[in-house]
Structure 1
Amino acid sequence: MHEIRQEDVLKLKKIFESSRRAVFFGGAGVSTESGIPDFRSEDGLYRQKFKYPPETILSHTFFLRHTEEFFDFYREKMLFLDARPNAAHYKIAALESEGKLAGVITQNIDGLHQKAGSKTVLELHGSVHRNHCEACGMGYPVQKIVKSKGVPRCVCGGVIKPDVVLYEEPLDSRTTERAVGLIRAADNLIIGGTSLNVYPAAGLVQYFRGENIVVVNRGEIPVRGAVFIDAPIAQLFYQC
């Protein structure tokens, strides 16, 4: 258990209380305390040994050329359907319901913000809970992927692809535009559980013109003018 400094709790509480249209921008670290591993930490997915590097397996090219191997990896390492929201997810949802938070911009694909009750959630990298046939466009729930063997197929015979953004694929332009609009209009920007290493998503932070930027992360990251708090985000938010 990480020791949370009370001065950090007070800093964050003060910013929460002053907010009227704050935006939360989050990454994998928001969900690690729900049991979903991140990518780049010491125990993260990218430190594990596989036949191919995870960046390769999760690429558009690999999906096209080695579709069955892609789904073997995807089912085992990307689906955590039993995971539950943690204190960070619930606090963010509460701030929205109180009229202090305008929305969530997340790099995560797990849907935990919605499970916690958040209404305005922009999923930059898509969601495991949405899937579609590449041939006819029919939508399928994630259970279709879980229960299938090998390559999941539509009733029309087409391959069912998860609605997640793979390497080599662009972000959805409408989602990105909405994210830019939210950040530009925000009075406070709270960044949590991300190293801001993944572009173009991380580049959205540059559009902030409001009062305060708070970064909550394990390990400092360079964000000009930000208040930095080194703490597990769920533990910290629980005390706020």
Structure 2
Amino acid sequence: MQDIIKQAAKDIFSAKKAVALTGAGISVESGIPPFRGKGGIWEKFDPMTFGHIDTFEKNPAQVWKILIKDLKEIIDQAKPNDGHKGLAVLEKMGILKTIITQNVDGLHQMAGNTDVIEFHGNCAWQRCMDCGRKIKTAEVDISVMPPRCQCSGILRPDWVFFGESIPMASLHRSQQIASACDLMLVIGTSAIVQPAAYMPVIAKENGAKIIEINPEATPLTGKISAYLVKGKAGQVMNEILKEMEQLI
């Protein structure tokens, strides 16, 4: 294990234009449950019902009560863990340029990363469906359902519901960044949800080295990634940064 940590530290330290692709696994350590998989939110609720824009538009109060309210309370309390903080350190070092994330919790920005592409939007902010005003989720009054903007419009998470398209600007920029990087860290994602899962493929096809940090193997392992560092994101990032200190 220590040999692969040393290799990862060396590869990251040598990168000139590294990017990271992150998924729910990096935020689980901050107490945020994943949407998919064991213990995920979609085990409790039907995603095509409570996660669909049609349901929200027909009955926003119901979706707020069943899904968004509890998630808001979790995210309000969540703090960046060592995985998030480690990526922020890599940015400060000038190595990591951009994060492409499937997460909606805003923890990368809270940790200090400044260039974060959010494929699925952000639950840390709510958007008025009438005037478009954005309000921090932590500041939203949920004593009345559904919560409303000062213009009386209904507030909705600034995320992508099922039935909505990923912002084309985010997709195009992610493709451009993936094709131009020389190293991509794939952290906490099963790499099965498209189009995010295709970013490592684009990166590899353009000559980048792909390093996975995940507890288990994924469809990328042994095919797209150069190697897999098994473990939790926070612990692995701490070990990698410790090795990088020796290189410095």
* Worse-superposed segment, 71-80 or 108-117: 71-80
Structure 1 counterpart of 2:144: 149
Over residues 90-127 of structure 1, what are the superposed CA-to-partner deviations in whole Å (9 max), with x where a residue is unaligned? 11111111111111111111111111111111111111
Distance 1:146 1:219, change over 3 A: farther
> Mapping of 1:72-111 within 5 angstroms?
72=65, 73-77=67-71, 79-111=74-106
Q: Please give the secondary structure, in 2, of the residue aligned with 1:152.
A: coil
Give the CA deviation at 1:38: 1.2
2: CA distance, partners of 1:85 / 1:194: 17
CA change 1:19–1:160 in 2 (3 A) is: same
In structure 2, C-alpha distance between the alignment counterparts of 1:39 and 1:8, rounded to whole Å: 30
Question: Quick one: which of 180, 185, 191 aligns to 1:190?
Answer: 185
Query: In the aligned structure 2, how far is the partner of 1:211 from the partner of 1:26?
Result: 17
**CA separation of 1:137/1:40 partners in 2, compared to 1, >3 Å: closer, same or farther?**
closer
- CA apart distance, 1:167: 0.8
Task: Give the counterpart letter for 1:68 in structure 2.
Answer: A
The CA RMSD measured in Å over matched residues stands at: 1.7
More helix by percentage: 2
Show the counterpart of 1:18.
14
Are 1:144 and 1:152, in contact at CA under 8 Å, matched by a contact in 2?
no
% identical equivalent positions: 31
1:116-135 correspondence runs (5 A): 116-135=111-130
Matched residue type, 1:193: G
CA shift for structure 1 position 233: 1.2
| 1:68 maps onto 2:65 in alignment | no
Letter in 2 for 1:23: V
The amino acid of 2:170's aligned partner reads T
Matched letter for residue 8 of structure 2: L
Question: How many aligned residue pairs are there?
Answer: 233
Higher mean C-alpha deviation, range 142-151 or range 60-69: 142-151
Give the deviation of 1:144 after TM superposition. Answer: 4.2
With structure 1 as the length reference, what TM-score do the two structures score? Answer: 0.90
Find the aligned partners of 1:210 and 1:101 in 2 and give their Cα distance.
Answer: 17
Alpha-carbon separation, structure 2, partners of 1:62 and 1:214: 39
- Tell me which residue corresponds to 1:174: 169
Q: TM-score, normalised by structure 2?
A: 0.88
Structure 2: unaligned runs, 5 residues or longer: 241-248
- 1:75/1:146 contact within 8 Å kept: no
Matched, 1:203 2:198: yes
Q: Secondary structure at the match of 2:157?
A: strand
- Conserved? CA contact 1:75–1:145, under 8 Å: no
Whole-Å separation in 2 of the counterparts to 1:30 and 1:84: 12
